[in-house]
A and B are shown apart, each in its own frame.
Chain A
Amino acid sequence: MSEAGSPRGERAATAAGRLVVAPGDPSEEREDSALDSQQRDRATATAARPARSPELSGQRAPHALAAMTKIETKLFFREPLLPALVLALPVLLVIGFGLIPGFGDPSSDLSGQSGTEYIASIGVAIVLAVLGLSILPTTLGTYRERGVLRRLRATPVTPRILLGAQLLLVGGATVVATVLLVAVGSLGFGVAVPRNLAGFVLAVVLGAASLLSLGLLVAAVAPSAKAANAIGMTLFFPSMFLAGVYIPRETFSPFLRHVSDGTPLGAALAAVRDTWQGSWPHPTQVATMVGWALVAAVVAARTFRWE
């Protein structure tokens, strides 16, 4: 940089000066000048370095993202309702239904799937819906409304790291909750580990991608935190119904089943159930989830505002 000479060093040194010093207190002043020369050394060192380039903040971005994700995870656990909804509720459903005698037997009403395996599958769907349609948009809406994102814009890093941290957090929560469901089901209630494990992972990943993109879209278009919550809830309940969470899709009319196949949560739950039983996700399920994920993500990226 052109100004890397000595004036720059002087400026940085004074800027870094300590603030504690009460003017006119000699003992403090001595301490300050010692410190000051130290800081001047450092400042000159940095001035000599031709950096202060934009890439520097870019280099710090991964660390900033990691630190931000850690904080957001802590904050997630400081809201007792969130871990309860995402991690505890689905598992408790499996335990509750699993304790019913005979519920673990294959059922013709569920296309041959056992009741407990079905409950574990809808557990995954609940996790995806709660994270994507409720927690993600409400959190981001609140952060925008409170100016948390705006405050980040005034630092060398971009507010995208907070967005990234939230996505990592909800993505991580999806993985943990899914593993818990599979583990509790198989260890406690004789539910098989998904028979097509690769297909199952694909179904969960695509399901998460579509629901989380939808959550970003809600956060992008909602003018306030309240609106984000309201829009999220408006999507949440029909999604849950149409996906066959409240009542199995086997009871749906053919028309309703088509509608269900077109919704991201419906495609995700169907794919999770199919892969749990051993088959691969159906191409239409994959197409539905990928389509929703892409469209929602692109529109969200175009409309999202930091403030």
Chain B
Amino acid sequence: MAARPIRSAGPATTLDGMAVIEVHELHKRYGETIALDGVSFDVQAGEVFGLLGPNGAGKTTAVEIMEGLRTPDSGTVRVLGLDPERSGSQLRERVGVQLQQAQLQEKIRVGEALELYAGFYRDPRPVDELLDEWGLAAKRNTAFKKLSGGQQQRVFLALALLGRPELVFFDEITTGLDPAARRQTWDLVRRVRDSGVTVVLVSHLMDEVEELCDRVAILDRGRLVALDTPTGLITSSGSEQRMRFRPVGVIPAGLIEDVPGVTAVTRSGSQVIVTGSGEFATGVTAALGRAQVLVADLRLEQRTLDDAFVALTGRPFDDAGDTTHDEKELEAAR
């Protein structure tokens, strides 16, 4: 698979190129609300596959169908070659899940929870090993509700990995975490992937998906609007970039305009804003260097998935979903 050419060595490489999940033409509605409207995609073995979309886009419904927790109105799903609806418990033996809005009993201790869940699987990983791995050994006897958000998240990750899964679903894993805990959680997800487990990551956070995923499916109002690598999505949705800087000295007339790839030069106070495509930024800095004009506060504005989302759907991502409102309404409609 082209998405991540550099991989950790080991048997994991043999997994590449196999479809772990095949979803075809999924439809699901709750009363009047259409949650999924003909969604199709494949998830390849060993990749981190992102499902991105504003709240209420249908991400969670799609995941619940893949987990066998919900039945689609029409369409087919194969997970690890099985039909989740008919082979649910068999599948859940091989699939780890980290669910949104699922907690443990308040006073259950970390060690107790892992021991309990270990008993649900045929060949669980040793609990002590998992506790060490996820930095929870010191919290073994701590009640679940006394843990910090980040620690609770690590417990859920450990629970998801207990049964030696081949595939894991992580649904909004960094919701409610502070920035430091989010970064830590991202590292944990990379560790899971590096161990050869295929990851389906559901998120409504652009930066998270951009950071972690090999490929991203963008859902909007129940439809798949794009499916590509994060870089592919960003570049295909438009190629122009902007650079800004504050020149120290006078820029000779026409110097920047003549650089190949530059499409516009504007001034805003002491700032110069250059728009262009391709390698224009390198050309501009080289030209400025030759003219011996120093620049300060140089910034190259990277296009992000946010821009890609606007380009794909015609509206900004933040406006697309009205916070958690839509999910609640969906929930009510169920």
- Asked whether, in the complex, the Cβ of A67 is within 8 Å of the Cβ of B119, the reply is yes
Interface residue? A197 (CB, 8 A): no
B161 to chain A, nearest CB (A): 7
- Digitize B101-132: 1 where CB-to-A-CB distance is under 8 Å, 0 elsewhere: 11111111000100111011111010001001
- Asked whether, in the complex, the Cβ of B112 is within 8 Å of the Cβ of A151, the reply is no
* A12-67 with Cβ < 8 A to chain B: 12-21, 23, 33, 36, 40, 42, 46, 51-54, 56-57, 60, 63-64, 67
Knowing A36-B10, A57-B93, A75-B108, the reply to whether A19 touches B161 (Cβ < 8 A) is: yes
A residues less than 8 Å from B123 (CB atoms): 42, 46
- Asked whether, in the complex, the Cβ of B99 is within 8 Å of the Cβ of A147, the reply is yes
- Asked whether, in the complex, the Cβ of A19 is within 8 Å of the Cβ of B15, the reply is no
Q: How far is the CA of A162 from the CA of B120 in the complex (A)?
A: 12
- Number of B residues near A (Cβ < 8 Å) is 51
Knowing A23-B8, A75-B108, the reply to whether A154 touches B67 (Cβ < 8 A) is: yes
**B93 interface neighbour in A13, A147, A156, Cβ under 8 Å:** A156
- Digitize A129-161: 1 where CB-to-B-CB distance is under 8 Å, 0 elsewhere: 000000000000001001110110111111000
- Asked whether, in the complex, the Cβ of B192 is within 8 Å of the Cβ of A54, the reply is no
Q: How far is the CA of A151 from the CA of B132 in the complex (A)?
A: 23
Interface residue? B50 (CB, 8 A): no
**B92 interface neighbour in A19, A63, A79, A156, Cβ under 8 Å:** A156
How large, as a class, is the contact surface on chain A? 35 or more
* Surface stretch bound by A, among B194-202, B215-223, B308-316: B194-202
Knowing A23-B194, A150-B102, the reply to whether A14 touches B15 (Cβ < 8 A) is: yes
Instruction: Look across to chain A and name the residue whose beta carbon is closest to the beta carbon of B169.
Output: A154
Q: How far is the CA of A52 from the CA of B89 in the complex (A)?
A: 10
Q: How far is the CA of A46 from the CA of B93 in the complex (A)?
A: 13
Knowing A3-B81, A151-B104, the reply to whether A17 touches B116 (Cβ < 8 A) is: no
Q: How far is the CA of A54 from the CA of B62 in the complex (A)?
A: 24
Knowing A54-B87, A54-B90, the reply to whether A148 touches B105 (Cβ < 8 A) is: yes
* A87-101 with Cβ < 8 A to chain B: none
- Asked whether, in the complex, the Cβ of A155 is within 8 Å of the Cβ of B10, the reply is no
**A75 interface neighbour in B107, B133, B166, B194, Cβ under 8 Å:** B107
Interface residue? A302 (CB, 8 A): no
Instruction: Look across to chain A and name the residue whose beta carbon is closest to the beta carbon of B45.
Output: A11
* B68-109 with Cβ < 8 A to chain A: 69, 81, 87, 89-90, 92-94, 97, 99, 101-108
* B20-37 with Cβ < 8 A to chain A: none
- Asked whether, in the complex, the Cβ of A15 is within 8 Å of the Cβ of B107, the reply is no
B residues less than 8 Å from A64 (CB atoms): 119-120
A307 to chain B, nearest CB (A): 9
- Asked whether, in the complex, the Cβ of A52 is within 8 Å of the Cβ of B67, the reply is no
- Digitize A62-86: 1 where CB-to-B-CB distance is under 8 Å, 0 elsewhere: 0110011001001100110000000
Interface residue? B266 (CB, 8 A): no
A residues less than 8 Å from B116 (CB atoms): 67-68, 71
**A78 interface neighbour in B8, B107, B166, B191, Cβ under 8 Å:** B107
Interface residue? B164 (CB, 8 A): yes
Interface residue? B165 (CB, 8 A): yes
A residues less than 8 Å from B81 (CB atoms): 3
Q: How far is the CA of A148 from the CA of B103 in the complex (A)?
A: 5
- Asked whether, in the complex, the Cβ of B122 is within 8 Å of the Cβ of A60, the reply is yes
- Asked whether, in the complex, the Cβ of B133 is within 8 Å of the Cβ of A15, the reply is no
- Asked whether, in the complex, the Cβ of A13 is within 8 Å of the Cβ of B117, the reply is no
Q: How far is the CA of A53 from the CA of B102 in the complex (A)?
A: 27
Residue of A52, A78, A156 with most partner-chain B CB within 10 A? A156
A75 to chain B, nearest CB (A): 5
Q: How far is the CA of A116 from the CA of B51 in the complex (A)?
A: 66
Interface residue? B14 (CB, 8 A): yes
- Asked whether, in the complex, the Cβ of B11 is within 8 Å of the Cβ of A154, the reply is no
* B142-199 with Cβ < 8 A to chain A: 159, 161, 163-166, 191-192, 194-197
- Asked whether, in the complex, the Cβ of B90 is within 8 Å of the Cβ of A153, the reply is no
Q: List 25 A–B pairs whose Cβ atoms lie within 8 Å, in order of A's numbering.
A: A12-B164, A15-B197, A19-B133, A20-B132, A20-B133, A21-B194, A36-B11, A53-B90, A54-B87, A56-B122, A60-B119, A60-B120, A64-B119, A67-B119, A143-B105, A146-B104, A147-B102, A148-B103, A151-B99, A151-B102, A151-B103, A154-B67, A154-B69, A155-B120, A156-B93
User: 10 other contacts beyond A67-B119, A78-B107, A156-B120, with CB at 8 A cut-off?
Assistant: A14-B12, A19-B191, A19-B194, A57-B89, A79-B107, A143-B105, A146-B102, A151-B159, A155-B97, A156-B90
**Chain A residues in the interface with B (C-beta under 8 A):** 3, 10-21, 23, 33, 36, 40, 42, 46, 51-54, 56-57, 60, 63-64, 67-68, 71, 74-75, 78-79, 143, 146-148, 150-151, 153-158
The 3 closest A-B pairs by CB, nearest first: A147-B102, A14-B196, A154-B97
